[in-house]
Amino acid sequence: MTEQVQGAQRRNWKEILLNRKMLTCVFLGFTSGLPLWVLISLVPAWLRKEGIDLATIGLFSLATLPYTWKFLWSPLMDRFKLPFLGRRRGWALMTQLALLVTIAGMGLVDVQQSLTTILVLVFLVSVFSASQDIVIDAYRRELLDDDELGTGTSIHINAYRLSALVPGSLALILADGMGWSTAFGVTSAFMLVGIVMTLVIREVSDDTLAPHTLREAVIEPFREFFNRDGFGPALAILAFILLYKLGDNMAVALATPFYIDMGFSLTEIGTIAKFSALWASIAGSILAGIIMLKFSINKSLWVFGFVQMTTILGFVWLSTVGHSPLGLFFVVSGEYLGVGMGTVGLTAYLARETSRAFTATQFALFSSIVVIPRTFANATTGFLIEAMGYTSFFLLCAALAIPGMLMLFKVAPWSK
């Protein structure tokens, strides 16, 4: 696929970076990421501290399936406009208010007496969060020009990752001293960041491009995508989206149990591994944004893919060395540097391949496919590790990154 904005037409980096659009990406990225981190960081910690077994906690990950299936209801958000704030902002506000209520509601439930209620709440948070992602992704694509996609995506993802500090750090500290109800209540209050931002930004959706019927909203996004360059190229794009980060997702799916099995204490994991992952993923995202100010999305995907593939090999080394705090720092830093870069490159690619006429549905479809490897990794890696051992497993993860790289010859040639 060729870039819509050719190198000769690319603007000066200051024009791209220093504008209000990037500030919008910061706050919408934060509010988009917060509910996901509640589900994958705060809820598992809460359940485990309340004595729930690991098998049950693992099954709770199935409640996040709406992230994978969100494209099923995204046509509704393309077709219908709520009677306030416009086609994108109206849906955003509704989902954010729902998240504010449901996240706070979790802390009011007794885990031992109402596990089913908690499962329902987790599922609702997942649905509302996935729905918020649909509309925020669509808004961001409609807000940014093609030459702003790389930088805007980098800023959005960094804010998305920084939001993990609220449910992953602040909430756990509050839970220790003030109880889980306070932890969930304070965490839910951070949704006000997104609510306020939604109220003050302008609507950018072009209603003239909106589908006129629900049938059109459901069928036309898929017809346009498969007719754009033909059925074969369309399938190649979908395969690439599925495979590009498969090895990466599998390598980090059970990272914390791996650190424990290598002899690292919980303190070492918290102070070395977790903070290394955070700073490196942010650094990787920033570096990716800088690179994409100068290079095309295609070239960036090649570079980022190579980095994320080779850094998996650090886990192979650590699995043979065992307990090495310095080694842990460098391995985790390298891996999440690749994670950050690859995520920015792939997300910018998804936005580029999205038609402005069907932004919500096509972007939801693409991003749903991206989530499939993560869901697959969470469900299967434990069995693979038990059967193969850590060293062979991480070698497999590195090998599984190769098919995605090979797909670049078809979907994102270096020369274009």
At 8, is the pLDDT very low, low, confident or very high (cuts 50, 70, 90)?
very low
Residue pair 288/300 in contact by the 8 Å Cβ criterion: yes
For the chain, the average pLDDT equals: 83
Q: Say which residue, 171 or 378, is predicted with more confidence.
A: 171
Angle at 363 between CA 305 and CA 25, to 5 degrees: 80
pTM reported for the whole predicted model: 0.73
Q: How confident is the model over 298-321, as a mean pLDDT?
A: 91
pLDDT score for 129: 94
- CATH superfamily of domain region 7-411: MFS general substrate transporter like domains (1.20.1250.20)
pLDDT score for 202: 85
pLDDT surpassing 70 at residue 17: no
Q: Which residues contact 376 (CB under 8 A, 6 or more apart)?
A: 246, 249, 250
Q: Which of 34-38, 115-119, 396-400 has the lowest mean pLDDT?
A: 115-119
Q: How confident is the model over 118-145, as a mean pLDDT?
A: 88
pLDDT score for 124: 94
Q: Say which residue, 40 or 104, is predicted with more confidence.
A: 104
| Integer Cα distance of 206 and 297 in angstroms | 25
pLDDT digits (tens, 9 = 90+) for 324-378: 889 989 999 998 999 889 888 888 888 888 877 777 788 777 877 777 776 666 6
Residue pair 413/302 in contact by the 8 Å Cβ criterion: no
| Integer Cα distance of 399 and 250 in angstroms | 11
pLDDT surpassing 50 at residue 122: yes
Q: Which of 109-113, 213-217, 340-344, 399-403 has the lowest mean pLDDT?
A: 213-217
Q: How confident is the model over 303-320, as a mean pLDDT?
A: 92
| Integer Cα distance of 361 and 355 in angstroms | 9
Q: How confident is the model over 199-222, as a mean pLDDT?
A: 77
Residue pair 286/6 in contact by the 8 Å Cβ criterion: no
pLDDT surpassing 70 at residue 152: yes
What are the sequence ranges of the domains in the chain? 7-411
Say how far residue 81 (Cα) sits from the centre of its chain.
26
Q: How confident is the model over 132-148, as a mean pLDDT?
A: 83
pLDDT digits (tens, 9 = 90+) for 40-95: 878 887 887 777 776 777 777 777 788 878 878 888 887 788 888 888 889 999 99
Give the burial class of 395: count Cβ atoms within 10 A of its Cβ; 0-12 exposed, 13-18 middle, 19 or more buried. Answer: middle
Q: How confident is the model over 150-172, as a mean pLDDT?
A: 83
Q: Encoding tokens for residue 71?
A: 């494209």
pLDDT surpassing 80 at residue 130: yes
Percentage with pLDDT > 70 across the chain = 91
pLDDT score for 7: 41
pLDDT score for 1: 43
pLDDT score for 391: 92
pLDDT digits (tens, 9 = 90+) for 239-296: 898 888 888 888 887 777 788 788 888 778 777 887 888 888 888 888 888 888 778 8
SS3 408: helix
pLDDT surpassing 70 at residue 154: yes
Q: Encoding tokens for residue 89?
A: 């902002």
pLDDT score for 326: 92
In 3D space, the residue among 312, 327, 311 whose CA is nearest the CA of residue 264 turns out to be 327
